[in-house]
Amino acid sequence: MSSAPSHRQMARSERRMFAASDDSTMLKQIQGTHAPDGRDVDVRPILEIIEDVFQRAAPSIPGAHIESLDDKTGAAVVDENGMLEALAFVIQKVSCEITCKCAGGGDAHATTMALLSLLSSYSWDAKVAIALTALAIAYGEFGLVVQLFSSHPLAKSVAVLKQLPDVMEHSNALKSRFEALNNLIGAMLDVTKRIVEFRQLPQQYISAEQRPLSVAMTHIPTAAYWTIRSVVACATQIFSLIGMSYEYVTSTTEAWELSSLAHKERNIHDHLMQQLALCYQHIDEKKHIEAYNNLVRILDLPQLDNTRILRHLIYLKDDMMPLYEKPTNSRVHVEALRRKTVLLLISDFDVTEEELMILNQIYRKSRSKPELQYEIVWIPIIDKTVPWSDALQQRFEQLESMMSWYTLHHPKIMEPAAIRYIREVWNFEKKMILVTLDPQGKVVCQNALHMYLIWGNIAYPFTTMKEEALWRDESWTLELFVDDIKPEILDWAHEGRYVCVYGGEDMEWIKRFTHTAKEVAAAAGITLELVYAGKSNAKERMRKIVTTIDRDGLSHYLPDLNSMWYFWIRLECMLYSKMQHGKGVESDPIMQEVMTVLSFDGSDQGWATMWFGLTDMARSKGDTILDCLMMFEDWKENASRIGFLPALKEHLQALHTPHHCNRLILPGVGGGIPERVVCAECGRPMEKYFMYRCCTD
């Protein structure tokens, strides 16, 4: 047997190879050995057996282990696909090559290149797997002899012939070397699995000729080289144990060499993992596109019922019940919604208590009416890139507890394709929307939230056609303005009383206005009821103002702060509902009046609308109407002649000035922003600005 090279010579050789193997010359040399013949070799079953061999052989030396492997006590020992039988000859040739070259202390690089040439007709993953198989055979035979040495006569005799007694005698001194050996084996197996993983990527979603896989594949030859190079190093270590002296047993150079190779393999593995991540990202994107296109196609096709579409939108698999049914406090399948009108309530977690309270009131009223066959399902949309946390879970449960309809079991079960469809086709951004699906699953209104909040269950079945029909029958009346938020208002109108609905947040103006209005009503001999409607987006200030109004007996007011929120949100819904149907402010009287009141609310002063009956109305911003009332003596005679409300309108018109009029803030409930808005006071186009507001209290 030829003498092994010195430790320093081997170390210098290793360092030279570490530096040289990654340059273009070395890469060309490696690729020059590669001439695959197209045979398909699935090495995954072989890898399972290899892992089992390494795992069982490793504990033969105290302290030796392969950290990266699990205990595979049930690993396959039967070659079901005949793959081992087909590869048996080449595995034997590789084993002989390794035994001959490594036992003789040959050059590691030359041996590696010889093995690559021997395996030239195989794919890169098969080359590495075959080389590992040959190493597993050598390591397994070595482990068997060592483990059975003390109990089996045959093993003892073979050990004596191989001159292995020193291995058993100095097992503690060999601990570090076997730890290094097994760490390297674990690293080699990890790299091999990644190479195999690249081969198993689904070709229908990723092509080897296109990025990112094309880039990743350029690194596979180098990874294969270093893994087979590590096989050679491991085999050299195993064969070097035969007949070794005590001085060689206690040497740490070999352990350093193995550790250096393990470090190299770990770096290669980390790089391959990064490349795989890019490939899987590409595959996911392709799958999402495919799923999205499939969803678009399904939603465009006529269906017998709504379950197929709901499954694609909510949860497509059959491994769990995706919906939570509030009345029964139980989980249910999508089939619970079969052949019903379904309203998909789509929102993020920034939902207010007021919104849910009003929606709950409307929904609960429908439960006592069998003819209203509809269900609401909450679909929470969250940013999937944000890790799920206890805070998010608590917020989800808090919102869910406020809802009396079906909710999604968990936001994370939503498919990316469905979320993309909701955002791109249904235009969900931030504000809550309510999408109507008819009993066959057809989208009959892309956002029914406006009509749901304006008319409630009267808008059933919540289709676009129903919304159009409702608007055809509507005009600007006190009933549309206040609905049944405070039922007494309509009762007063029917009784022939004058009703003044006013708002604002200037407490001094409120006191002066209510005091003056009462005095004028007494002087005019009319019965006047004053109702404070508050101001949008000013909850805490409204609480203080309502307390003062109630304490001082200034006027009536809407029942509570939620009612005030509902009053303003209904007006915004009217605006956006009209816009959804292509209506313009200039040609639509209802939009004109809604825009006027909203612009009043956007100003810093108060405002008032004066009603007689359901249709006769005068309105103006705060200072103007207050001045008009304070000048009642000037138009008192006219009021006696033509009526109080017509005289009020005439005098308001006379007080109109062309100065700066109003501003308009549209926080919105979904839908677009009108390109052109005219001032409610002067009729001139208003300038458009973007406003972002937070903490408006």
* pLDDT tens-digit readout, 111-160: 899 999 999 889 899 999 999 999 988 888 887 777 776 677 887 777 77
Q: Which helix (H) or strand (E) holds 352?
A: none
Give the per-residue pLDDT at 680: 53
Q: How far is it, in rounded angstroms, from Cα 277 to Cα 287? A: 15
Which pair of tokens denotes residue 320? Answer: 């769990």
User: Rounded distance, CA 35 to CA 202, Å?
Assistant: 23
**In this predicted model, what pLDDT tens digit does every residue of 606-633 receive, in sequence order?**
999 999 999 999 999 899 999 999 999 9
Torsion over CA of 60, 61, 67 and 72, rounded to 10 degrees?
A: 10
Angle, alpha carbons 679-680-684 (nearest 5°): 30
Residue 68: pLDDT over 50:
no
Q: How far apart are CA 244 and CA 254, in angstroms?
A: 13
Are 276 and 194 contacting, i.e. CB atoms less than 8 angstroms apart?
yes
Report the range of poorest mean pLDDT among 5-19, 24-38, 135-149, 365-379. Answer: 5-19
Higher pLDDT, 64 or 82: 82
683: left (phi over 0), alpha (psi -120 to 50) or beta: left
**pLDDT range class, residue 686, cuts 50, 70, 90:** low
| Beta bridge mates, 500 | 530, 610
Q: With cut-offs at 50, 70 and 90, classify the pLDDT of residue 456.
A: very high
Instruction: Give residue 259's pLDDT band: very low, low, confident or very high (50, 70, 90).
Output: confident
**pLDDT attached to residue 88:** 81
Calculate mean pLDDT across residues 381-410: 91
Dihedral sign from CA coordinates of 157, 158, 163, 165: negative
Query: What local confidence, expressed as pLDDT, does residue 64 receive?
Result: 44
Q: Which pLDDT score, from 0 to 100, does residue 78 have?
A: 47
- pLDDT, position 81: 54
How far from chain centre, in Å, is Cα 625? 52
Average pLDDT over residues 629-648: 94
**Weakest-pLDDT range from 222-226, 385-389, 563-567, 637-641:** 385-389
H/E stretch holding 445: strand 443-445
pLDDT given for residue 11 in this prediction: 42
Which H or E element spans position 569?
Answer: helix 561-580
CA angle 110, 115, 120 (to 5 degrees): 120
* CA distances, 151 to each of 144, 169, 494, 514 (Å): 11, 16, 108, 107
Provide the H-helix boundaries in 301-332. Answer: 307-314
Among 160-164, 293-297, 337-341, 553-557, the range scoring the smallest mean pLDDT is 160-164
pLDDT of residue 540: 83
Q: Domains in the chain, start-ordered, CATH in brackets?
A: 26-56+82-285 (no CATH), 306-460 (3.40.30.10), 478-686 (no CATH)
Say which residue the tokens 């700066």 belong to: 660
CB distance 429 to 348 below 8 Å: no
Cα 53 from chain centre: 43
Which band of pLDDT confidence, cut at 50, 70 and 90, is reported for residue 235? confident
Instruction: Give the mean pLDDT of 632-647.
Output: 94
Query: How far apart are alpha carbons 456 and 592 in whole angstroms?
Result: 23
Q: Is the pLDDT of residue 393 over 70?
A: yes
**Alpha carbon distances (Å) from 359 to 87, 356, 445, 666:** 69, 5, 18, 21
pLDDT at 203 over 70: yes
Cα–Cα distances (Å) from 546 to 24, 293, 500, in that order, read 81, 53, 16
- Residue 332 CB burial class (10 angstroms; 0-12, 13-18, ≥19): middle
- Mean pLDDT score, 557-577: 92
Radius of gyration of the chain (CA): 41
Across the chain, what does the average pLDDT equal? 84
Position 484 pLDDT exceeds 70:
yes
Instruction: Answer yes or no: is pLDDT of 247 > 60.
Output: no
Task: Give the pLDDT confidence score for residue 73 in this predicted structure.
Answer: 42
